[in-house]
């Protein structure tokens, strides 16, 4: 009888041992289903992961255990050199006694090119042109914007476009552009220019655009006949600062912008080539009937001059009805 009891107890123990793994496997199989149930109710369209909720949504407690980065990056000891590359292996061994080459003094040409001009130019190039230091030379264009210049820098003779805006240039001298036969555009916006010599621009045979707004000019410089655009807005130019008939012979002039100055009248006569005339914000109070049109020839129509700005002046344009008959459209300004 005792043997039968012991045999029954042993059987129960064996059954318990077999049942335990089965239950464990069942629980492991059911656990992923329970985890997936968490995400079934998540609204992915409005899912917002912020720094405040990051720790609640992503469990980082066992994150480092999932990845072992120890074998991915080689260990480098401080004070050792990296192994040579294949390209470096083919180089001769120079040893540790190589001497540092001595610096050579600048050439005489370089010193001569920059002398007297605050080192604006560098050494002479293979083409015989001075290189630029404080300015940026790209092809035939020279950029000297916001470079602290107090005068026009010496330019390579092939320069066609000069941009020297936002500097402290106070005067344009007759010799600043000597020999610059290819210069087409000069932009000196926002400097401190109060004076320009009579021959500073007049002798430039290719000059088409002269841009001078935001300076302190009290008189217009003489212009070459090749000029197409003159922009001298935001200066201090009175009518006395414009030579009589200053624009008569400028047969290429198309854009004349003199707004925000101190003009008392419209600087006539104006060339037939003119397309845009901006004179707003001056002190113009009257005009002549021949300012734009020829009062003796009512058949003449001046089609080119389509843009005339006289707003911001004390003139009443309705008082001069015969002054606009040849124009394609009325000037902009006050008509009452």
CA 235-236-239 angle, 5° bins: 120
The structure's pTM equals 0.64
Which residues in the chain belong to E strands, given as ranges?
121-124, 130-132, 136-138, 141-143, 161-163, 171-172, 185-187, 195-196, 209-211, 229-231, 255-257, 276-278, 307-309
What's the rounded Cα separation, in Å, for the pair 317 and 286? 8
User: What band does 100 get if pLDDT is binned at 50, 70 and 90?
Assistant: very low
103-107, 130-134, 190-194: which has the highest mean pLDDT?
A: 190-194
Q: What pLDDT score does 24 carry?
A: 52
Assign 230 to helix, strand or coil.
strand
What's the rounded Cα separation, in Å, for the pair 273 and 225? 12
pLDDT tens per residue across span 46-94: 444 444 444 444 443 443 344 343 433 334 333 334 444 444 444 444 4
Mean pLDDT across 166-174: 97
Q: What pLDDT score does 182 carry?
A: 97
Between 142 and 121, where is the model more confident?
142
User: What band does 157 get if pLDDT is binned at 50, 70 and 90?
Assistant: very high
Assign 298 to helix, strand or coil.
coil
Percent of the chain surpassing pLDDT 90:
57
Lowest mean pLDDT among 274-278, 293-297, 311-315, 329-333: 293-297
Residue 217 · residue 200 · CB < 8 Å: no
pLDDT at position 330 over 70: yes
User: What band does 33 get if pLDDT is binned at 50, 70 and 90?
Assistant: very low
pLDDT at position 252 over 50: yes
User: What band does 130 get if pLDDT is binned at 50, 70 and 90?
Assistant: low
pLDDT at position 95 over 50: no
SS (H, E, C) 6-49: HHHHHHHHHHHHHHHHHHHHHHHHHHHHHHHHHHHCCCHHHCCC
Lowest mean pLDDT among 14-28, 160-174, 291-305: 14-28
pLDDT tens per residue across span 115-126: 333 444 555 554
pLDDT at position 274 over 90: yes
User: What band does 241 get if pLDDT is binned at 50, 70 and 90?
Assistant: very high
Mean pLDDT across 188-208: 96
Lowest mean pLDDT among 191-195, 232-236, 245-249, 297-301: 297-301
User: What band does 109 get if pLDDT is binned at 50, 70 and 90?
Assistant: very low
């Amino acid at each position: 009888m005792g043997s039968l009891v012991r045999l029954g107890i042993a059987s129960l123990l064996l059954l318990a041992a077999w049942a335990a793994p089965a239950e464990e496997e069942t629980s492991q199989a059911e656990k992923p289903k329970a985890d997936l149930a968490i995400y079934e109710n998540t609204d992915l369209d409005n899912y917002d992961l912020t720094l405040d909720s990051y720790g609640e949504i992503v469990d980082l407690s066992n994150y480092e255990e999932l990845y072992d980065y120890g074998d991915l990056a080689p260990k480098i000891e401080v004070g050792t050199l990296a192994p040579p590359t294949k390209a470096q292996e083919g180089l001769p061994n120079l040893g540790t006694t190589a001497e540092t080459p001595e610096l050579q003094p600048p050439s005489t040409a370089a010193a001569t090119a920059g002398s007297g001009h605050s080192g604006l130019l560098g050494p002479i190039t293979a083409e015989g042109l001075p290189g630029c230091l404080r300015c940026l030379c790209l092809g035939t264009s020279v950029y000297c914007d916001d470079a602290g210049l107090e005068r026009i820098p010496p330019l390579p003779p092939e320069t066609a476009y000069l941009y020297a805006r936002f500097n402290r240039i106070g005067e344009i001298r007759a010799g600043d552009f000597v020999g610059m036969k290819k210069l087409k555009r000069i932009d000196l916006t926002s400097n401190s220019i109060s004076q320009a010599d009579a021959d500073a621009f007049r002798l430039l045979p290719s000059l088409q655009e002269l841009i001078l707004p935001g300076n302190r000019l009290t008189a217009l410089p003489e212009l070459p006949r090749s000029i197409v655009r003159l922009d001298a807005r935001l200066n201090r130019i009175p009518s006395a600062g414009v030579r009589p008939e200053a624009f008569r012979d400028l047969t290429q002039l198309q854009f004349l912008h003199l707004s925000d100055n101190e003009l008392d009248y419209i600087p006539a006569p104006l060339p037939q080539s003119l397309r845009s005339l901006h004179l707003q914000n001056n002190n113009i109070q009257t005009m002549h009937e021949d300012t734009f049109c020829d009062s003796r020839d009512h058949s003449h129509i001046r089609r080119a001059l389509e843009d005339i700005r006289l707003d911001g002046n004390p003139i009443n344009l309705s008082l001069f009805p015969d002054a606009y008959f040849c124009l394609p459209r009325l000037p902009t300004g006050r008509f009452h």
